[in-house]
Amino acid sequence: MRTQKLPHSELEVSCVGFGLSGQPSWTPGPITNDDIDRVSRLMQCALEAGVTLFDTASPYGLGRSETVMGQVFERAPSLRERAIVQTKCGQIMTDDDGNLVTPRIDLSKREIISSAERSLRRLKRDRIDILLLHQPTPLMRPEEIVAAFTALHESGKVRYFGVSSFSPEQITLIQRLFARRLVVNQVQVSLYHPRRIIDGMGGTLCVLEHLDLVHQRLSGVATPAVKARHWVPAGDSIIDYCRIEGVQVQAWSPLRHRLPGAYQPQTDFTTLDARLAKLARELDVSAHAIALAWLLKHPAAIVPIMSTSNPEHIFQNAKAAEIQLSESDWYALLRDAIEAVEAPSGC
């Protein structure tokens, strides 16, 4: 698998990362030997497939994700040396003793530092490679965030810092006070969430739609039922912003259609899934590998964070790095993705 330099850093990371958000489960309880064996197998397979970037977060599995990774590292020191570990702070679901509390986002200096220290203990590491703020909050104070980042870096506990799901303005609030560069912004972007890909491309989409309709008429495939696609409202152009600022864009949940319980517009991915399956048969790879290859073709060098509990799927997904989608196929998938997203009422 090819690698790329993480901007503003000394790290070389794989073009696809592996996430442990569901490993182990979110069911409270002690870590078992089966948990450790399973995660060890998954991480070893990921390394064999060329993955070096491993993504977790303090709330995943109510802290058990970091804990099981630490147990794996204790068993296999060589894996610890090869893995680049990225974790996140700020999402609060439990207190320091592991008891459930009302969820909130806390980006205070105290919480960022204490969360990083808890992560280090769980991971059984002396230093976190990359620490991300898991989510922005209306109550965040940039000066506190920067003070926490500075203290963690100067103490040698964290090498590099980034954010997740932050807008350009929210990133700027921090970066203007921080002497070091933020290196990552992890956002939700994929064929199933294409809005960020088409930010600022409204004119292009209008022209493409017009050309498609003309092509259908000229080729004789148009029908009286043909209709314009739904409009997807503009966003914040975060991908272009990150390209300008040299911030790596990572894609979380690049293969998931919907988040349980999260508000999302109604969607129908039948046509998109059918095209993915067709391309997968033609190229003799999995449909998931095609979906990841679609992201990898973007010139922003987006790093998808895949997640699976099946070792074989890791090797199948890793083939995405070898797939060269044609521009025709890339645009066909984009059209299907846009058409699947239902515009909100009134837009």
Query: How would residue 340 be classed by pLDDT, with cut points 50, 70 and 90?
Result: confident
* CATH class of the structural domain 3-340: alpha beta
Angstrom distance (rounded) from CA 195 to CA 27:
33
Q: What is the mean pLDDT of residues 9-34?
A: 91
pLDDT at 200: 77
Cβ atoms of 314 and 256 closer than 8 Å: no
pLDDT at 260: 60
- The label of the residue with tokens 């993915």 reads 276
Query: How would residue 130 be classed by pLDDT, with cut points 50, 70 and 90?
Result: very high
pLDDT > 90 in the chain, percent:
72
Map out the domains of the chain as residue ranges: 3-340
Q: Is the pLDDT of residue 346 over 50?
A: no
Q: What is the mean pLDDT of residues 301-324?
A: 97
Q: Is 313 or 261 the better-scoring residue by pLDDT?
A: 313
Phi-psi region of 124 (alpha: psi -120 to 50; beta: other; left: phi over 0): left
Q: What are phi and psi of 264, to 5 degrees?
A: -145, 145
pLDDT at 344: 44
Task: Copy the structure tokens of residue 270.
Answer: 């039948």
For 134-155, write each residue's pLDDT tens digit: 999 999 999 999 999 999 999 9
For 214-234, write each residue's pLDDT tens digit: 777 788 776 544 455 555 556
How many CA atoms lie within 13 Å of 8's alpha carbon, on the beta-carbon side? 18
Q: Which of 97, 141, 133, 339 is nearest to 247 (CA)?
A: 133
pLDDT at 222: 62
For 178-219, write each residue's pLDDT tens digit: 999 999 999 999 999 998 998 877 677 777 777 777 777 788
Query: How would residue 329 be classed by pLDDT, with cut points 50, 70 and 90?
Result: very high
Cβ atoms of 170 and 141 closer than 8 Å: no
Torsion of the alpha carbons at 196, 148, 175 and 305, rounded to the nearest 10: -30
The single-letter DSSP state of residue 239 is H
pLDDT at 345: 38
Q: What is the CA radius of gyration of the chain?
A: 21
For 100-126, write each residue's pLDDT tens digit: 888 899 999 999 999 999 999 999 999
For 49-105, write each residue's pLDDT tens digit: 999 999 999 999 888 999 999 999 999 998 989 999 999 999 998 877 777 888 899
pLDDT at 347: 34
Q: What is the mean pLDDT of residues 262-269?
A: 68
The single-letter DSSP state of residue 321 is G
